A and B are shown apart, each in its own frame.
Chain A
Amino acid sequence: GENVEQHPSTLSVQEGDSAVIKCTYSDSASNYFPWYKQELGKRPQLIIDIRSNVGEKKDQRIAVTLNKTAKHFSLHITETQPEDSAVYFCAASPLYGSSNTGKLIFGQGTTLQVKP
């Protein structure tokens, strides 16, 4: 079945450094790739998303890149700050025909720790 692999499972960086989290997906029909951030004890919240007709998207210190040929996408956080510490989840949503199916496959999550 469909699968999303996320790496690394934990990531520790110094404040100000960059952090990169990578995901690969199995279903070539996937066309929507969101990233969610979950702070301790809270609900996941969307931080950025990308669709398959775009190769890169940026929002201030956060960027996502997508390589459809290789079926992988990555989250890049620059100039990390302690408040970036959280669990990050990637996800992929397959498209069949002209409509999204409603299925959403999440990666296993990456715990990011930013040390002051």
Chain B
Amino acid sequence: EAQVTQNPRYLITVTGKKLTVTCSQNMNHEYMSWYRQDPGLGLRQIYYSMNVEVTDKGDVPEGYKVSRKEKRNFPLILESPSPNQTSLYFCASSFPPESPLHFGNGTRLTVT
């Protein structure tokens, strides 16, 4: 089954404790991206990757890192999480970029 898998689904952490949200797709898509969803603000792009070792900033990259060492995986790293990063996060993939995005199930992150 074609899918994008994110883990974990729910995460509660404390300020400053490094965390990683994993994202994996099995569709051999070159394009992957991360979004955060906040009430009234819609979906905002954090980072995207056009291919292995090619990443670029979206609209709200501050406080986040990503890596793309393999085509299937695109982890989101928060080196020092802060409460304003409490949000619902979605990973997505597609090919080419201007085609329907396949979203993961989302990760609800709470930073206290």
Binding site for B on A (CB under 8 A): 1, 6, 9, 31-32, 34, 36, 43-46, 49, 51, 89, 91, 93, 95, 100-109
Contacts and interface: CB of A to CB of B under 8 A. Distances in A.
A108 B100 CA distance: 19
A49 B100 contact: yes
A102 B48 contact: yes
B100 A89 contact: no
Nearest to B58: A103
A44 B45 contact: no
B42 A102 contact: no
A101 B67 CA distance: 18
A43 B104 contact: yes
Given A45-B103, A51-B98, A104-B101, 15 more contacts: A6-B42, A43-B103, A43-B105, A43-B106, A44-B90, A89-B42, A100-B98, A101-B56, A102-B31, A102-B33, A102-B56, A103-B56, A103-B59, A104-B45, A106-B44
Interface residues of B, number: 25
Nearest to A34: B100
A44 B103 contact: yes
A9 B106 CA distance: 22
